[in-house]
Structure 1
Amino acid sequence: MYPRLEINLKKLKNNLRIISNLLRKNKISLAMVTKAYCADINIVNELVKDENLVDYLADSRIENLKGLSQINIPKILLRIPMKSEVEDVIKYADISFNSEYETIEELNKEAKKINKVHKIVIMVDLGDLREGYFVEKDLFDNIKKIQDLTNISIVGVATNLTCYGAILPSEKNLSKLVSIAERLEKDYNIDIKIISGGNSSSLFLIDENKLLSKINNLRIGEAILLGRETAYGKRISGTFNDAFKLICEVIENKEKPSVPIGESGVDAFGNKPIFEDKGIMQRAILGIGRQDISIDSLNPIDKDIEVIGASSDHTIVDVTKSKNKYSIGDKIEFLLDYSGIMTASTSKYVKKYYIF
């Protein structure tokens, strides 16, 4: 059945092993982020079995952590909890990342109901301007109030970089995170077990011997999936970048003009497209569209193919220069970037096929 996302679990396990060994060598715990592939239990089970490579499982959605409840590894909810989901957060997350006292108070109430102490990590915004306390005074003004909550335990601090504002991690900005952790320990007598210095974009600091020694945790997703750090896109030695492959079926293949004919309006997504006149081209249509995949993420394995556009359920590729003569029912294969893995994994219309 197609379209099909092929997932090579041997290659993923290889990538995980290399990154886990790198972090362990530097005394850094690994929170394996599972959100890009929707915490697919087939993938997670294969990655965590046999070897002790992962310290935490981490995801942005509590629904995904709920699906991993049978795996005996501590689970972290990465996205700031919604008040409407605190009951499930207490049930299915061992640790949650937080930056709002009002939400932490609700977590405390829910934890008290089942006589549980819920662990939290305080998020600090170091300039990427997504989640976290941005003004230190606000953070410390709330710490004493949080300490007074009987069923909440502060276990760490964390930051997120590069995901929204594309701000790179550095010795300078991460030193602020370490400084906050040290003050929490000294002035508030809090045992800070986790100082989480970011995601796959922080890996280059290890390579350059610039990651502060007190940073003892990273949350890693893309580097495991694609074998690269995400600050500069540098490949990690020994890893694979093709553990995920999308295979699509040709449903039409005809010669047509390269520019649509008639008065131009907007497309199905409200955009007014611009077309380059390349004359008559051989245009193949694939049975997949924007509802299933981030079109910009498609990298054809046949380098003579060009993706030229898509609607919600059709993708059009120019096969004019290809040495392969595609027929109806033939398959065209793509490597994916992170957004492609994420969207293809999320779509119920894309079949998942596992290579063990």
Structure 2
Amino acid sequence: MKREYPCVEIDLCKITHNAKTILSMCSKKGIEVVGVTKVFCAELSIVQAMLKGGIKHFGDSRIQNLINMKDIHCKKTLLRISMESEAEEVVKYSDISLNSELQTIKVLAEAAKSANKVHNIILMVDVGDLREGVLVKDVIGTVRKILELSNINLIGLGTNVTCYGGVLPDENNLGKLIELKKDIKKIFDIELPIISGGNSSSLYMVMNNTIPKEINQLRVGEAIALGKETAFGESIANCYDDAFILKGEIVEVKEKPTLPTGEIGRDAFGEKPHFKDMGIRKRAIVAVGRQDIKVDGLIPLDKNISIFGASSDHLILDITDSSRELEVGDIVNFRMDYGCVLAAMTSQYVKKYYAKELAMSSI
């Protein structure tokens, strides 16, 4: 079959392998892994690969993606704070949703009542990262009001760190959830079964045995997709970092100066570019651009290739020292970081192909 470019090649066996490895690591600590599917838009082939790796609970930020998974028999959690406008869909297509606004929880209660269901929620707590969550001082009051609602079942507390403020998970901020759980038990005489201690950034605490034993759930996406914990960007032992490879086709090869000629103004994105004079270099243009990918998240597999920059539709490479002679029509391969995978998998202009067998690459 003729391939179309640009494309992302996804090695499903590597996804399965990473899922098994991370699940095993967390299971030893009594931690449930919620497999996060948003980075690849819940593509069913990849979801199935994670299922094969043992993941039984999936989470996504978009209700559309949970709807896409409606025929897959597994537990599903809506990760982004629910919108009132999608309350009926949240109740119908998710088993659990993360929430921080009492007003929205009341709307979910009404939707659940209309559907003759009880909807499970995890109350998100802001422990310092300043994204979503009830402030610690307001948790008890919020819980009191949630418990007054019918058709809503409060099953846990959760938090999110590193995604906005860059705050690292540690024993102190995760410890706030544990103390709140104890306070809720004492005041309301209820046991919350889930303490959701963050995302892939919390895995470093699992790896170095510092995660509090009361944390019994993590929401993991990037680590399964790219084999890295996200607090420090360290590789996870026995995991693959190349399950997603971007492939782009060269459409021009020419030797050109590295300094543009003429007065420099703003580029197509309103930025004023700066250039370093490196003399004449051999440059290749690849037919992929900033509309499709996050340029600073690309890593050429050929370490002798570097990236000059990109416009909406063109990626400009320095191939002067490339390991092989490159010509128009040749394909250049790149690893990607999380933001780049997210953009590429979302783009309708980037084709997706699935490798059926595990490539023989070292871990």
Q: Give your verdict on TM over 0.5.
A: yes
Match of 1:15 in 2: 18
Alignment of 1:277-292 (within 5 A): 277-292=277-292
Match of 2:102 in 1: 101
1:5 correspondence with 2:8: yes
Match of 1:189 in 2: 189
Kindly state the Cα deviation for residue 145 of structure 1 after the two structures are TM-superposed.
1.5
Higher mean alpha-carbon deviation, 88-97 vs 231-240, is at 231-240
Percent identical pairs in the alignment equals 49
* 3-state SS of 2:242 partner: coil
* 3-state SS of 1:91 partner: helix
Match of 1:129 in 2: 130
Does the CA-based 8 Å contact 1:154-1:190 persist in structure 2?
no
Kindly state the Cα deviation for residue 92 of structure 1 after the two structures are TM-superposed.
0.7
Distance in 1 of aligned mates of 2:239 and 2:208: 19
Task: Could you tell me which runs of 5 or more consecutive residues in structure 1 were left unpaired when the two chains were aligned.
Answer: none
State the aligned residue count. Answer: 353
Distance in 1 of aligned mates of 2:295 and 2:353: 20
Kindly state the Cα deviation for residue 115 of structure 1 after the two structures are TM-superposed.
0.6
Kindly state the Cα deviation for residue 126 of structure 1 after the two structures are TM-superposed.
0.7
Match of 1:117 in 2: 118
**TM-score scaled to structure 1, two decimals?**
0.97
Q: Which amino acid aligns with 1:112?
A: K
Q: Deviation digits for residues 39-86 of structure 1, max 9, x if unmatched?
A: 11111012214x6x2231001111111101111111001110111111
Match of 1:33 in 2: 36
Match of 1:346 in 2: 346
Kindly state the Cα deviation for residue 28 of structure 1 after the two structures are TM-superposed.
0.7
* 3-state SS of 1:232 partner: coil
Q: Deviation digits for residues 227-260 of structure 1, max 9, x if unmatched?
A: 1211112211111111111110000111111111
Match of 1:233 in 2: 233
**TM-score scaled to structure 2, two decimals?**
0.95
Match of 2:273 in 1: 273
Match of 1:78 in 2: 79
Distance in 1 of aligned mates of 2:238 and 2:245: 19
Does the CA-based 8 Å contact 2:15-2:49 persist in structure 1?
no
Q: Which amino acid aligns with 1:24?
A: S
Divergent runs of 4+, >4 A: none
Higher mean alpha-carbon deviation, 263-272 vs 204-213, is at 204-213
Task: Could you tell me which runs of 5 or more consecutive residues in structure 2 were left unpaired when the two chains were aligned.
Answer: 357-363
* 3-state SS of 2:134 partner: coil
Q: Deviation digits for residues 68-125 of structure 1, max 9, x if unmatched?
A: 1111111001110111111111111110000000110111111111111100000011
Distance in 1 of aligned mates of 2:119 and 2:191: 15
Alignment of 1:117-266 (within 5 A): 117-136=118-137, 138-266=138-266
Alignment of 1:47-86 (within 5 A): 47-49=50-52, 53-86=54-87
Does the CA-based 8 Å contact 1:29-1:55 persist in structure 2?
no
Kindly state the Cα deviation for residue 323 of structure 1 after the two structures are TM-superposed.
3.3
Kindly state the Cα deviation for residue 152 of structure 1 after the two structures are TM-superposed.
0.6
